[in-house]
Homo-oligomer: A and B are copies of this chain.
Amino acid sequence: MERHEIEAFLTLAEELSFRRATDRLGLAQGRVTQIIQKLERRFGVPLFERTSRRVALTPAGETLRDELLPAYEQVRRAVANAVAVGRGTAVPLQVGYSSPMAADLILRAADRFTERYGGGVQIHEVQLADPFGPIRTGQVQLQVTELPVREDDLVVGTVLFTEERLVMLHRDHPLAHQESVELEELADSTLVVFAGDTPRYWRELHYPRHTPSGRPIAHVEAAYWQEALSMVGAGKGVTFACARAELYYARPDTVWLPFHGAPPIDYGIIWPRHGATPRVKAFIDILETYRAG
């Protein structure tokens, strides 16, 4: 199909009136009729059912419209993006992250991305209190974040890296003098659970309610991460975090210990179901090639 044929077909499919379609396309009377007839002769398939009073799509026409419209729009976007890249006016890709380690990885990938596609990359820290807000509002186009993520409108890519978990204890806690802590040993402790707006499946995976042998672990909720830190500092319980957290959230009244018995935290890429533009896909590709390094 030629461009003018695609435009004529899609316009007519939308307007369902030869007159309005020719007007919108700025063509002469009869032209749209000629173009559509030629298409139908070439395909050997009617695309519209028409009387002099009504124009309707045939099933074949509906299929063509449904599949052609997104393809045609992508052609236009492709040209616009290429021109933007060539002129250096491409808009920066907005990328979210929820861990400093993810930011490192993103910034390394950003250089290679900008080299090839231009436009640059802007990073945004995403608070765990609202982990999917920015990606849902379009503030970021993709995000590197803690797994698992199971949201109907978000697609999850492969695991990028894995972070060991630490346990944060008050320095007077009975376990604080040990070299490391097993999950089993937390049976008699209270676990400070960072609730926020994190999904339930996320909390259930990160904060177990039982030890491997089945003994219960008491929970107490904290609405904000800083609140969780304070509660541990006040001796009201222990909590978990990824290994890097030690560098950012050190306090004099607490100690961090390696933690065994619960799986480490996976980090992966997420993006909106319908947001996988070629630029986004390209950045995901680069991220995944940097995964190993």
Contacts and interface: CB of A to CB of B under 8 A. Distances in A.
Interface of A: 1-3, 6, 43-47, 58-64, 66-68, 70-72, 74-75, 77-79, 81-83, 85-87, 115-118, 148, 150, 152, 155-159, 201, 209-210, 213-216, 273, 278-279, 282
A76 B217 CA distance: 59
B67 A85 contact: no
B216 A79 contact: no
- Copies of chain A in the complex: 2
A283 to B, nearest CB: 12
Given A45-B83, A155-B273, 7 more contacts: A43-B82, A43-B86, A59-B118, A60-B83, A63-B78, A63-B85, A72-B75
A43 B79 contact: yes
B67 A278 contact: yes
A1 B3 contact: yes
Nearest to A278: B67
Contacts of A46: 86
A87 B46 CA distance: 10
A115 B64 CA distance: 15
Contact of A64 (B78, B209, B279): B78
Contact of A71 (B3, B71, B115): B71
A278 B82 contact: no
* Secondary structure type dominating chain A contacts: helix
A216 B64 CA distance: 58
A59 B116 contact: yes
A2 B62 CA distance: 23
Contacts of A201: 148
A74 B82 contact: no
A116 B60 CA distance: 8
A77 B67 contact: yes
Given A3-B1, A59-B116, A78 B67 contact: yes
A74 B70 CA distance: 9
Given A3-B3, A214-B215, A67 B44 contact: no
A117 B59 contact: yes
Nearest to A77: B67
